[in-house]
A and B are shown apart, each in its own frame.
Chain A
Amino acid sequence: QKEVEQDPGPLSVPEGAIVSLNCTYSNSAFQYFMWYRQYSRKGPELLMYTYSSGNKEDGRFTAQVDKSSKYISLFIRDSQPSDSATYLCAMSIYNFNKFYFGSGTKLNVKP
């Protein structure tokens, strides 16, 4: 069983839609949860970083962590074509120590 599971998609939505991206994990020791956006042939860029359970909002992005269910989500409101990318979840036990990545979900926002 993989440490982190993520649906690879692709996920195709119309512009303006609310997007929900999810990851599940098996290791209850994970405490730090991150979402990265990766454009084709580029390195990942950090979008959201949360610690333990709860919600965090930053502009159009909201990250949710449910440790009891071992489930994390990233919501994108008012999605834009520029949001089209692969979104990777990542988690670690200690702060910015070894990361475990999901396989990434490819998102396509159609104009």
Chain B
Amino acid sequence: GAVVSQHPSWVICKSGTSVKIECRSLDFQATTMFWYRQFPKQSLMLMATSNEGSKATYEQGVEKDKFLINHASLTLSTLTVTSAHPEDSSFYICSARARVGRENYGYTFGSGTRLTVV
């Protein structure tokens, strides 16, 4: 099947620093990657959609200068939380639409990154 590898799985950082989260598609090419954040007991909220080689499309209310998304290759997308603050603490998950040959694996999620800003 299609696997999306996300790391780190958890990170603690000091307020004001930046954190980079990586998502890699291991056995397929992910032309589109979606980034979500999830607060406890809440649903996944789409932050942005990134397409390989082009600028990400951000959802309303998401600061593009704070959450930098890079999708430089078909197998790697990164989310950088810049100048992190405690309110940025959350669970961040990436997802990719996976298609390998004629097999459509649909929407595959990474394992998530728990970010805690202290």
A residues apposed to B, CB below 8 Å: 4, 6, 8, 34, 36, 41-46, 49, 88, 96, 98-99, 101-104
Pair B112/A41 contact, Cβ less than 8 Å: yes
The dominant DSSP class at the B interface is strand
Could you list 18 A-B pairs, sorted by A, with CB under 8 Å?
A: A4-B43, A34-B106, A42-B111, A43-B93, A43-B109, A43-B112, A46-B106, A46-B107, A46-B108, A49-B106, A98-B46, A99-B34, A99-B46, A102-B43, A103-B43, A104-B41, A104-B42, A104-B43
Minimum C-beta distance from A78 to chain B (A): 25
B residues apposed to A, CB below 8 Å: 4, 6, 9-10, 34, 41-46, 49, 91, 93, 95, 97, 106-112, 114
How far is it, in angstroms, between the C-alpha of A24 and the C-alpha of B114 when the chains are bound?
A: 29
Residues of A within 8 A of B45 (CB): 101
